[in-house]
């Protein structure tokens, strides 16, 4: 038998120990609307589950954020001007939001055309896959994010740049705006936020590989209880300006954007069909 006592007392264990609970966003992110399963997005929007991750993943995400200003510096060195970091876009009565990495001008292939800029960091295997497939086939979520941001910023091109995290090589692709696809994604988002109950499942079974590690798996397939909070309550529904109303409170009771994360004594869970 392996003696693990020594491991639990090491610096490595202390650095890696424990999970990080992710606080849910108060809105549905445009960066997520390309996700294949609307049911998952509905559960996420309604705060139906607690999402957790490892400390390692937090470090990886932080590295991605740190990479962005470095990419911008490299672009500016070759004469490409970048601005508008974290410009906010809003849809779905204030319940859908997006924040772009920036807008640029002076792209070598089309110097007079303003481009959306989107930056990602990718591990070596994913980088190779991206080079082979191109962005649309590699990631439906990244692709949808670009289409939506172009739509709301009234741009016709995206300069998409990915960095290989293993050797720092760049992948660069210019993406064309597709109006009909962007409009379809907006309709998808609106249908999710307005749905009183979860949409149909996108996949065939709880053991399907895209479902197996999903944070909503037990809620979706086994009818496990959703997290108790205002958003999973039968009396609460979204309204204008990103706010919510509660039918059990005073008439036309608007309860704001930042809802009670534990629910009240009148809580009644939504039907999870």
The model's pLDDT over 217-232, given as tens digits with 9 standing for 90+, comes to: 999 999 999 999 999 9
Kindly state whether residue 94 falls inside one of the protein's structural domains.
yes
DSSP state of 208: S
The tally of domains found in the chain comes to 1
Q: Where are the alpha helices (DSSP H) in the chain?
A: 5-8, 11-16, 38-45, 55-77, 124-133, 135-138, 140-153, 179-194, 209-212, 217-222
Kindly state whether residue 250 falls inside one of the protein's structural domains.
no
196 touches 190 (CB < 8 A): no
Kindly state whether residue 169 falls inside one of the protein's structural domains.
yes
Percentage with pLDDT > 70 across the chain? 93
CA 38 to chain centre: 13
Residue 172 pLDDT greater than 50, yes or no: yes
Q: Is 62 helix (H, G, I), strand (E, B) or coil?
A: helix
The predicted pLDDT at position 64 comes to 79
Residue 27 phi/psi, 5-degree rounding, is -140, 170
The band of 250, judged by pLDDT with boundaries at 50, 70 and 90, is low
Residue 248 pLDDT greater than 50, yes or no: yes
- The predicted model gives 158-187 an average pLDDT of 97
DSSP state of 10: S
Q: Pick the residue with more confidence: 186 or 54?
A: 186
Structure tokens at 75: 């672009």
The pTM assigned to this predicted structure is: 0.89
Kindly state whether residue 101 falls inside one of the protein's structural domains.
yes
Q: Is 88 helix (H, G, I), strand (E, B) or coil?
A: strand
Q: How many CB atoms lie within 10 A of CB 76?
A: 13
The predicted pLDDT at position 135 comes to 98
The predicted pLDDT at position 1 comes to 44
Residue 96 pLDDT greater than 50, yes or no: yes
The band of 260, judged by pLDDT with boundaries at 50, 70 and 90, is low
The predicted pLDDT at position 128 comes to 97
Enclosing domain of residue 115: 29-44+51-193
Residue 262 pLDDT greater than 80, yes or no: no
The CATH number covering residue 108 comes to 3.90.320.10
Residue 130 phi/psi, 5-degree rounding, is -65, -45
Kindly state whether residue 273 falls inside one of the protein's structural domains.
no
- The predicted model gives 69-87 an average pLDDT of 96
Residue 251 pLDDT greater than 60, yes or no: no
The predicted pLDDT at position 2 comes to 44
Kindly state whether residue 232 falls inside one of the protein's structural domains.
no
DSSP string, 128-197: HHHHHH-HHHH-HHHHHHHHHHHHHHT-SEEEEEEEETTT--EEEEEEE--HHHHHHHHHHHHHHHH-SS
Kindly state whether residue 8 falls inside one of the protein's structural domains.
no
Q: CA dihedral defined by 3, 5, 8, 10, rounded to 10 degrees?
A: -90
Residues in the chain: 273
């Amino acid at each position: 038998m392996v003696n693990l006592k020594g491991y639990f007392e090491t610096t490595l264990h202390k650095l890696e120990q424990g999970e990080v609970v992710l606080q849910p966003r108060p809105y549905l992110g445009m960066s997520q609307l390309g996700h294949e399963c609307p049911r998952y997005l509905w559960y996420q929007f309604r705060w139906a589950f607690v999402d957790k991750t490892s400390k390692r993943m937090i470090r990886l995400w932080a590295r991605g954020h740190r990479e962005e200003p470095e990419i911008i510096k490299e672009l500016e060195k070759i004469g490409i001007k970048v601005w508008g970091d974290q410009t906010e876009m809003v849809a779905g009565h204030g319940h859908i939001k997006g924040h772009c990495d920036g807008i640029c001008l002076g792209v070598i292939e089309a110097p007079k055309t303003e481009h959306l800029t989107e930056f990602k960091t990718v591990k070596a295997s994913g980088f190779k896959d991206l080079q082979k497939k191109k962005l649309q086939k590699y990631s439906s979520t990244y692709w949808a994010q670009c289409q939506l941001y172009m739509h709301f910023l009234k741009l016709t091109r995206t300069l998409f740049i990915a960095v290989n995290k293993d050797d720092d090589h760049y992948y660069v692709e210019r993406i064309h705006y597709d109006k009909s696809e962007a409009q379809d994604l907006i309709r998808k988002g609106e249908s999710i936020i307005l749905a009183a109950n979860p949409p149909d499942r996108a996949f065939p079974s709880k053991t399907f590989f895209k479902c197996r590690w999903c944070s909503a798996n037990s809620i979706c397939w086994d009818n496990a209880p959703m997290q108790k909070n205002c958003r999973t309550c039968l009396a609460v529904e979204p309204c204008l300006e990103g706010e919510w109303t509660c039918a059990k409170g005073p008439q036309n009771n608007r309860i704001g954007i930042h809802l009670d994360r534990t629910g009240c004594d009148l809580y009644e869970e939504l039907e999870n069909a």
